[in-house]
Amino acid sequence: MLAQAAAEMLDWRGSGMGVMEMSHRGREFDEIFARTELRLRELLAVPAEFKILFMQGGAIAENAIVPMNLSRGGVTDHVVTGLWSIKTRQEALRYGEAHVVASNEADGAANHTTLPAPATWRLSANASYVHVCSNETINGVEMHELPDLRALGCDAPLVMDCSSHIGSRPIEWTRVGLAYAGAQKNIGPSGLTLVFVREDLLGHALPFCPSAFDYAVVAANGSMYNTPPTYSIYIAGLVFEWMAAQGGVAALEQRNIEKRRCCTTQSMARPSTPTASRARPARA
């Protein structure tokens, strides 16, 4: 993948230009972008009613961009399971009432190590969305299954930060309204943020939301309202080709499960390590 990028650095497929030199509106980059988006849609089986947005700012910027687009200035619900979901809720407080509906803060000796069962979440009747971090990178808590909000009697869309395990397993899209991920963990270089948003959630940005962060504007312009991070998108495209060649996301998930089994077995052999004390290994 990187060898291919190196080989193509000065001249992308006979175009006489490297990707960094291309106009994001030119024919060559159009081709790279279209293929990258298509591959991503295939790999994660993203349904047609979801737009895929290629944005910038990382997951931390999304902590502000999501409430600016979805909160309508009202109530948002937050499941707090570690450092990243704490930061998400803190940012959401700038835009409205951000309720903590469940938290694992008081987990006994080691904080943030378990997942509050969805049945115990105190969901608000009027929340515009429910936010979860599906893999708390630092605290090491992963949701192995996404909550079914409808089964909990909640109509609000689920919003998830899946930055640190995107691409490591399939996503249950029927349970999701919006998912976002910074690219730099599993997808490619930093600078690219992927946003998957259900079309019916577009068009409700708060008046002060910058146009470049208004999902409806970004979607209407095919992620080209402003210049997207072209080189990061190109490398992400190469990573998607590699993932497809490995057999796709389901095959990678199996491989990750094997790795996890192997790591757990090894750490169990040394019970004094912190990993061994975790109820569930978090990173795939």
Note the residues at the interface with ligand PLP (CB under 6 A). 58-60, 84, 133, 137, 161, 163-164, 182
Q: How far is the CB of 66 from ligand PLP (least distance, A)?
A: 12
How far is 268 from 103, CA to CA, in rounded Å?
28
- Which tokens is 169 given? 């397993």
Total H helices, total E strands in the chain:
8, 9
- Residues labelled catalytic: 84, 161, 185
Q: How far is the CB of 25 from ligand PLP (least distance, A)?
A: 26
What is the H or E stretch that residue 59 is in? helix 58-70
What is the H or E stretch that residue 232 is in? helix 230-245
Q: How far is the CB of 173 from ligand PLP (least distance, A)?
A: 19
Long-range contacts of 260-263 (CB under 8 A, 24+ apart): 260/284
Phi, psi of 39 (to 5 degrees): -60, -45
Report which DSSP code applies to 157: P
How far is 193 from 229, CA to CA, in rounded Å?
9
Q: How far is the CB of 142 from ligand PLP (least distance, A)?
A: 10
Task: State which residue, 104 or 164, has the beta carbon closest to ligand PLP.
Answer: 164
Sign of CA dihedral 38, 30, 49, 119: positive
3-state DSSP assignment of residue 53 = strand
> Are 167 and 186 a contacting pair, CB within 8 Å?
yes
Place of tokens 């061994």: 276
Task: State which residue, 22 or 178, has the beta carbon closest to ligand PLP.
Answer: 178
Phi-psi region of 181 (alpha: psi -120 to 50; beta: other; left: phi over 0): beta
Q: How far is the CB of 130 from ligand PLP (least distance, A)?
A: 16
What is the β-pairing status of strands 193-198 and 50-55? antiparallel
How far is 163 from 194, CA to CA, in rounded Å?
9
Q: How far is CA 142 from the centre of its chain?
A: 13
Q: How far is the CB of 267 from ligand PLP (least distance, A)?
A: 21
